[in-house]
Amino acid sequence: MRSEITAANEYHTPADTRHIFLDRLTCNSRFIFTMLFLKAIFSSRYVARKGLYKTAQWVNSSHEIFTDVERCGGQIHITGLDNIRNCRQPVIFLSNHMSTLETMILPGIIQPMTDVTFVVKDALVKHWAFRDVMRSRNPIVLSRFNAREDFRIVMEQGQERLKSGISIIIFPQSTRRVEFRPSEFNSLGTKLAAKSGVQVIPIAIKTDFWGFGKFSNYLGPIDRTKPVHIAFGEPMHVTGTGREEHQKIIEFIASHLAIWNNDH
């Protein structure tokens, strides 16, 4: 996976990656995937708590989960990789947010081509399983309870990260949803881009392969009939208030989801 993403504009899961024997042994349940995911999380947490979780470890952890998805029957399709590769300056990635999966695998896709971090909820840097790893990535942390303060934090810290050469991934939706609701897709990212003078790259994702669990969002069921899709759009310069570019990003996401849902 690593070499193909590094070299090509698209990536598609090879047909012979699934561990059919393990799936049959566990009655096609989520068991193997959950065990592999927990192994990756606890291993990363252990290294991060020792202060040794650097960029290379982050990429490796992300690649591990990416591979685990494929080993357990997930089909991953990625397009538009050249849109990242051809950027010579840091950018802001703006994506819909459907499940835990994109948070886990986007670093392994993007980081080898540009340094990157996330804008995250403060709950993630407090979560017992993820806090050490997440803090090591120098994210921009928001409360989601005080919109004015969150806006100030993004504008100040976002510009700092971008000036230091770090791209930023933002999920403008208020929460993860299988259904994309444009009304919940705020313009924080385009405003930061306009203020910073950097480009934005829209990302459309369909990651309902991994569902929500009853007791934990991170341990939900998997559905092997639902392919994982990730599409990176062309970089956009943001002008004026960014309203036009914001609408184009929404249209990019909505149009890809419409195609993928119809294909399914």
Q: Report the amino acid identity of residue 204.
A: A
Close Cβ partners of 82 (under 8 Å, ≥ 6 residues apart) = 9
Contact in structure between 198 and 235 (CB atoms under 8 Å): no
Smallest CA-to-CA distance from 175 within 116, 96, 101 is with 96
Gap between the Cα atoms of 259 and 87, Å rounded: 27
pLDDT band at residue 146 under the 50/70/90 scheme: confident
Smallest CA-to-CA distance from 88 within 125, 65, 110, 114 is with 114
Q: Which residue has the higher pLDDT, 5 or 237?
A: 237
Region 63-79 average pLDDT: 93
Share of the chain above pLDDT 90, in %: 75
Average pLDDT, the chain: 90
The answer on pLDDT for 27 being more than 90 is no
pLDDT tens, position by position, 158-170: 999 999 999 999 9
Gap between the Cα atoms of 145 and 59, Å rounded: 31
Region 67-79 average pLDDT: 93
Q: Quick one: which H or E segment has residue 76? A: strand 76-79
Cα 225 to its chain centre, rounded Å, is 21
Q: At what angle do helices 55-71 and 31-49 cross, to 10 degrees?
A: 170
The answer on pLDDT for 9 being more than 60 is yes
Region 2-27 average pLDDT: 69
Gap between the Cα atoms of 67 and 43, Å rounded: 16
Region 216-221 average pLDDT: 78
**pLDDT score recorded for residue 219:** 80
The answer on pLDDT for 126 being more than 60 is yes
**pLDDT score recorded for residue 29:** 64
